[in-house]
Amino acid sequence: MIMLNCKEVTRIVASGELAEASRGRRIAVRFHHLMCRHCRRYARQLRALGDAARRLWGPGRDTDPETLRRLETAILNRRPALGATSPAGRTNGTKSSDDPHGA
């Protein structure tokens, strides 16, 4: 089995590489976590950061229904002008392909 040190395990966990790692690599990380309480703590803390982010901005949070209704109306009210929109009227340079990052 591959033996990983703390630095390597930390990088694998924080970079998100673990989710797509090979079975052998995942086992090596799990094995290391069994042996190392510092790396266990580190991984637990990173999971907690994700939980906190979902708590702050996940579904149902910070979304006042009145704000959303107002926004929806404002956006949909701008649709009728679409037919008349000329290329010069475009507000942001999205190029004509499925790369949303513009030319």
Partner 1 sequence: MGAGEKPDRPAEFSEAMADPDFVARIQASDAKAFEDVVRAYLEQVFRTARGAGLDPQRSEDVVQSTFVTFMESAHGFEGRSHVRTWLFGILYKKIAEAHRQSRREQGTESIDEQMEQRFRPDGSWARPPAPMDLQIQRREVLEGIQECLDGVPTRQRMAFVLREVDGLSTKEICKILDVSVTNLGVMFYRCRNLLRECLEKKGIKGR
Report which of 81, 78, 85, 103 is spatially closest to residue 93, judged by C-alpha positions. Answer: 103
HEC secondary structure over the chain: CCCCCHHHHHHHHHCCHHHHCCHHHHHHHHHHHHHCHHHHHHHHHHHHHHHHHHHHHCCCCCCCHHHHHHHHHHHHCCCHHHHHCCHHHCCCCCCCCCCCCCC
Rounded to a whole number of angstroms, the minimum distance from the CB of residue 28 to partner 1 is 13
Segment 54-93, which members bind partner 1 (CB under 8 A)? 54-59, 61-63, 67-68, 71-72, 74-76, 78-80, 82-83, 85, 89-92
Between 23 and 42, how does the x/- string for binding to partner 1 read (CB under 8 A)? ---------------xx-xx
Q: Does residue 1 interact with partner 1 by CB under 8 A? A: no
Residues that bind partner 1 (CB under 8 A): 5-8, 10-11, 14-17, 19-20, 38-39, 41-42, 45-46, 48-59, 61-63, 67-68, 71-72, 74-76, 78-80, 82-83, 85, 89-92, 94-102
